């Protein structure tokens, strides 16, 4: 095999790995953002329940004040009983007290209903709070795992880039320039395999005469369609099963 072609094949393998590691490092922050969504949704649900709960507490406070005012009203009404002179006035006064007490009972019923809602609200708050803690714990565990993966990938990248810097010194400048041009042009794939008279980079057919030359791997040949540098790899022959 042509020495420069062999170096380009190895360089392509190295660059493919570098691209993969770079992609992994860049994807990690996006993965964290994606995983933050369930936590934010749980936090929003918890905040909504808190607002509902606060509103119920305010309603109860208002009802408690109304009940207290009604108690004062009934107390005053009963305090005036001794001042009444006639039976007619007395009967009317008793009806007024009875109506006030009925109204008081309705306030009590309203307070009991709100207390039941508050109890249900507190239960919902506990449930939503537990959900937030669970999602937060999951996110924290994921962050730790991804941080470890990122650190490992960055360390590998550092080693690969250092190795690449030394490796390219063995490649002729014009050959390396051709490789880099194709690498940028084709989003990281400058060297492709030719198999069955087809370029595996663009999946376009190769003329039989050119394919014969590519199979020799004696010089640098390019795909007439996409310009990628092509090489031929002997297919492994399977051993017959005895």
What would be the CATH architecture of the domain defined by 3-170?
Orthogonal Bundle (1.10)
Q: What is the pLDDT of residue 197?
A: 93
Would you say 204 and 33 are in contact if contact means Cβ atoms under 8 Å apart? no
What phi-psi label fits residue 236: left (phi over 0), alpha (psi between -120 and 50 degrees) or beta?
A: beta
Domain positions in the chain: 3-170, 173-231
User: Poorest-confidence range of 128-137, 160-169, 228-237?
Assistant: 228-237
Which has the higher per-residue pLDDT, 241 or 71?
71
62-118: per-residue pLDDT in tens? 999 988 988 888 888 888 887 888 888 888 888 888 888 888 888 898 899 999 999
Q: Can you give the pLDDT at residue 5?
A: 96
- pTM greater than 0.75 (yes/no): no
pLDDT for 168 equals: 95
The answer to whether residues 92 and 119 touch, using CB atoms and an 8 Å cutoff, is no
- Burial (Cβ within 10 Å: 0-12, 13-18, ≥19) of residue 82: exposed
H/E run at residue 144: helix 87-167
Task: State the Cα–Cα distance between residues 177 and 230, nearest whole angstrom.
Answer: 16
Q: For the chain, give the percent of residues with pLDDT over 90.
A: 60
> Which pLDDT belongs to residue 123?
93
pLDDT, mean over the chain:
90
In order of 109, 157, 184, the CA distances from 191 in angstroms are 81, 21, 12
Q: Is the pLDDT of residue 237 over 50?
A: no
């Amino acid at each position: 095999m042509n020495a420069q072609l062999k170096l380009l094949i190895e360089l392509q393998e190295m660059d493919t790995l570098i691209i993969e590691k770079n992609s992994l490092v860049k994807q990690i922050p996006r993965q964290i953002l994606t995983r933050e969504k369930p936590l934010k949704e749980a936090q929003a649900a918890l905040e909504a329940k808190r607002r509902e709960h606060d509103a119920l507490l305010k309603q109860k406070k208002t009802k408690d004040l109304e009940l207290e005012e009604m108690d004062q009203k009934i107390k005053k009404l009963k305090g005036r009983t001794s001042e009444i002179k006639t039976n007619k006035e007395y009967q009317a006064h008793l009806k007024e007290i009875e109506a006030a007490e009925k109204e008081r009972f309705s306030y009590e019923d309203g307070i009991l209903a709100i207390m039941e809602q508050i109890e249900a609200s507190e239960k919902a708050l506990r449930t939503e709070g537990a959900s937030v803690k669970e999602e937060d714990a999951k996110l924290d565990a994921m962050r730790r795992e991804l941080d470890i993966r990122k650190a490992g990938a960055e360390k590998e990248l550092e080693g690969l880039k250092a190795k690449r810097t030394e490796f390219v010194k063995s490649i002729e400048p014009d050959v390396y320039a051709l490789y880099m041009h194709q690498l940028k042009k084709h989003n990281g794939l400058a060297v492709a395999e030719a198999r069955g008279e087809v370029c595996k980079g663009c999946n376009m057919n190769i003329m039989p005469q050119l394919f014969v030359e590519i199979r020799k791997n004696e010089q640098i040949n390019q795909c007439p369609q996409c310009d990628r540098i092509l090489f031929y790899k002997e297919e492994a022959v399977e051993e017959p099963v005895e």
